[in-house]
Chain A
Amino acid sequence: MRVFSFLLKAWAFIRRDFLIETSYRSAFILQFTGTFVSVAIFFFLSGMIRGIAPNMKGVEGGEYFPFILVGIAFYHYLTVALTSFASRVRNEQLTGTLEAMLVTPTRTPTLILASSLWDFVFTSFRVVLYLVIGVGFSRLAGRPFVIHGGGIIPSMIIFGLTILAFCGIGIIVASAVIYLKKGESINSFVISASALLGGVFYPTETMPAWLGSLSSFLPITYALRGIRRALLSGATFGELIPEVRVLCLFVAFLVPLGLIVFRWALRGARRDGTLVQY
Chain B
Amino acid sequence: MGGADQRGANQVDAIEIRDLRKVFNKRRSIRDLILHPRTKPEPVVALDGISFDVHQGEIFGLLGPNGAGKTTLLKVLSCLVSQTSGSARVQGNDITNAEHRVKSSVGLVTSDERSFYWRLTGRENLHFFAALYNVPRAEIRRRCQGLLEKVELLKHADQLFMEYSTGTKQRLAIARALLHDPPVLFMDEPTRSLDPSAAKHLREFVVTTLNRKEGKTILLATHNLPEAESLCSRLAILHLARVRRLGAMEEVRSWGDTGERYVIDVAGIAPARLLSSGEDRFVFPGCRFEIKAPEDGSAPDRSILNADLETGGAALTELLRRLIAGGGTIVSCSRREASLQEVFDLVAAEGGGSAPGAQTAR
Which residues of A approach B to under 8 Å, CB–CB? Answer: 5, 8-9, 11-13, 15-16, 19-20, 23-24, 95-97, 99-107, 111, 267, 270-273, 275-276
Please tell me if the beta carbons of A97 and B108 are within 8 angstroms of each other in the complex.
Answer: no
Top 10 nearest A-B pairs by Cβ distance? A96-B114, A12-B131, A104-B132, A100-B115, A105-B103, A270-B82, A23-B119, A273-B81, A106-B132, A105-B104
Question: What are 19 inter-chain pairs, A to B, with CB distance below 8 A?
Answer: A8-B131, A8-B137, A12-B128, A12-B131, A19-B119, A19-B120, A95-B114, A96-B115, A97-B117, A99-B80, A99-B110, A99-B115, A100-B115, A100-B116, A103-B79, A105-B103, A270-B80, A273-B46, A273-B81
Chain A hits for B75, CB < 8 A: 273
Contact flags B118-134 to A (C-beta < 8 A → 1, else 0)? 01100010011101111
B115: A residues at CB distance < 8 A? 96-97, 99-100
Give 10 new A-B contacts, CB below 8 A, not counting A100-B108, A272-B24.
A12-B128, A15-B127, A16-B120, A96-B112, A99-B110, A273-B46, A273-B72, A273-B81, A275-B81, A276-B80
For window 94-148 of B, CB contacts with A under 8 Å fall at: 100, 103-104, 106, 108, 110, 112, 114-117, 119-120, 124, 127-129, 131-134, 137
Closest to A110 in B: B132
Contacting residues, chain A, for B82 (C-beta < 8 A): 267, 270-271
Give chain B residues whose Cβ lies under 8 Å from the Cβ of A100: 108, 115-116, 129, 176
Say yes or no for B55: interface residue by CB 8 A criterion.
Answer: no
**Contact B103 A103, beta carbon cutoff 8 Å:** yes
Please, what's the 1-or-0 string for B18-45, where 1 marks a CB less than 8 Å from any CB in chain A? 0000101100000000000000000000
In the complex, what's the smallest C-beta–C-beta distance from A138 to chain B, in angstroms? 39
Least Cβ distance of B250 to chain A in Å?
A: 34
Which B residues are closer than 8 A to A by beta carbons? 22, 24-25, 46, 72, 75, 78-82, 100, 103-104, 106, 108, 110, 112, 114-117, 119-120, 124, 127-129, 131-134, 137, 176, 180
A276 to chain B, nearest CB (A): 7
* B131 and A9 form a contact (CB under 8 A): yes
Q: Looking at the complex, which one of B103, B128, B134 makes contact with A5 (CB distance below 8 Å)?
A: B134
How many Å lie between the Cα of A275 and that of B128 in the bound state? 21
A276 to B110 CA separation, bound complex (whole angstroms): 14
Chain A residues within 8 Å of B79, by CB: 103
A23 to chain B: closest CB distance in Å?
A: 5
Write the nearest CB–CB distance from A95 to chain B, whole angstroms: 6
Are the C-beta atoms of A103 and B104 separated by less than 8 Å? no
The chain A residue with its CB closest to the CB of B81 is A273
Distance A94 CA – B136 CA, assembled complex (angstroms): 30
- Closest CB in chain A relative to B166 CB, distance in Å: 15
Give the complex CA separation of A72 and B343 in angstroms.
68
| B75 to A, closest residue via Cβ | A273
Chain B residue nearest to A22 in the complex (CB) = B119
Q: Which residues of B are found within 8 Å of A16, using beta-carbon distances?
A: 117, 120, 124, 128
Q: Complex formed: what's the CA distance from A96 to B118 in Å? A: 11
Q: How far in angstroms is the closest Cβ of chain A from B30?
A: 12
The residue in chain A whose Cβ has the minimal distance to the Cβ of B25 is A272
- Chain A contacts for B119, CB-based, 8 A: 19-20, 23-24
Complex CA–CA separation, A5 to B131 (angstroms): 9
* Cβ–Cβ contact B127 & A97, under 8 A: no
